[in-house]
Amino acid sequence: MTFLEKLDRLDRRIIFLIIGIAVFVPLLFRVPIKVVQSPIVQDIYEGIQALPEGSTIMLSFDYDPSTLAELQPMAEAVVKHCIQKKHRMVFMGLWPQGPKLAQGIMDEMAPRYNLQYGVDYVNLGYKTGGIVVISSLGSSIADPFPTDMNGTPLRELPIFDNVKTLRDFAYVVSLSAGDPGIKHWVMIAKDRFKVPVGGGVTAVSAPAFYAYYNSGQLEGLMGGLRGAAEYETLIDTPGTASYGMNAQNWAHLMIILFIIIGNTTMLVLKRRKEKSRVR
């Protein structure tokens, strides 16, 4: 067996090992990387930036820990931006695990920035029903969520003094890993109740949402770790995504090299086969 034939049948464990090293080693050296901003991410940043100080923003955590690596840095970046602008935040989830992930962020941020629960932020928790929950919020927030995540009635939480329905939110941010998610927020919150909707999705699903962005139904979108890194650069607070971009850089480079090697060996071996057939 020639070298090229061996390369063509490369054991996939070697590929796994190379990718593992390419991801792991750059993560050891925590070097934040500033990335070039794309208009689609800049638009969501500017949308939140342009709101008057103290606006109330809905943050829907529509994902579970499987997509944590991509979506949690986005959530952290948006929350930091809201804190910088002194916006009030209402968290909820269309996925059962979402509110707990939001709570994880706020457990860290609230003491650091001296935020008061019920005044500066609140966590409504999870409710089944997907798109119907969003639609119910349009009638009254208390319909699907009579209490917050801890069982406190909404009337006892000052943040809801002037916020009664979905229309009273200045902006909706949905961090979404699938169904139900950002598409449903666009369909109900934006299209029916005219509330601006932006958000973030995994890199693999981002291409599907460009049509909504172009039509103006989606204010802006963060796609994958890159989207989160762009947002971190915009708020000038490097976080997990900016550090992770180094690893993604190397992983992409390795995958490109694998594709080049795979195609080169295929072409050379194919040509050799054709030559031997002619002889």
Partner 1 sequence: MFWKRQFPILITAFVAVVMIAAYFIPKPGIADTRDNLQVWFQIVVMFTMILGLLNLLFVSWHKARKGRKEDRFYNWVTIFSLLGTIVAGFFGINSPAFDFIFNNIYTPLSATIFSLLAFYVASASFRAFRAKSIMATILLITAFIVMLGRVPLGDWISGWAQGTSLGFLYLPNITNWIMEVMNMAGQRAVLMGAALGLIATGIKIILGIERSYLGGE
Contacting positions for partner 1 (CB under 8 A): 10, 12, 15-16, 18-20, 23, 33, 35-36, 38-40, 64-69, 97, 100, 103-104, 125, 127-129, 132-133, 135-136, 139, 143-144, 149-150, 192, 203, 206-208, 210-211, 214, 224, 226, 245, 248-249, 251-256, 258-259, 261-263, 266-267
In the complex with partner 1, the residue whose CB is nearer, 57 or 71, is 71
Beta strands in 114-234 (DSSP E): 121-126, 171-176, 197-201, 221-223
Beta strands in the chain (DSSP E): 56-62, 88-93, 121-126, 171-176, 197-201, 221-223
The label of the residue with tokens 């650069």 reads: 233
In the complex with partner 1, the residue whose CB is nearer, 25 or 86, is 25
**Least distance (Å) between residue 102 CB and partner 1:** 12
In the complex with partner 1, the residue whose CB is nearer, 55 or 118, is 118
- Alpha-carbon distance 247 to 224, whole Å? 13
**Least distance (Å) between residue 251 CB and partner 1:** 6
**Least distance (Å) between residue 223 CB and partner 1:** 8
- Are 233 and 35 in contact by the 8 Å Cβ rule? The answer is yes
How far apart, in Å, are the Cα atoms of 47 and each of 16, 104, 105, 204, 207?
41, 25, 22, 24, 21
In the complex with partner 1, the residue whose CB is nearer, 50 or 256, is 256
**Least distance (Å) between residue 58 CB and partner 1:** 18
**Least distance (Å) between residue 123 CB and partner 1:** 10
- Alpha-carbon distance 241 to 32, whole Å? 8
In the complex with partner 1, the residue whose CB is nearer, 57 or 98, is 98
- Alpha-carbon distance 67 to 115, whole Å? 27
In what order do the strands lie in the sheet containing 121-126?
121-126, 88-93, 56-62, 171-176, 197-201, 221-223
**Least distance (Å) between residue 274 CB and partner 1:** 15
**Least distance (Å) between residue 20 CB and partner 1:** 7
In the complex with partner 1, the residue whose CB is nearer, 129 or 158, is 129
In the complex with partner 1, the residue whose CB is nearer, 87 or 126, is 126
For every residue of 9-45, DSSP letters joined together read T--HHHHHHHHHHHHHHHHHS------PPPHHHHHHH
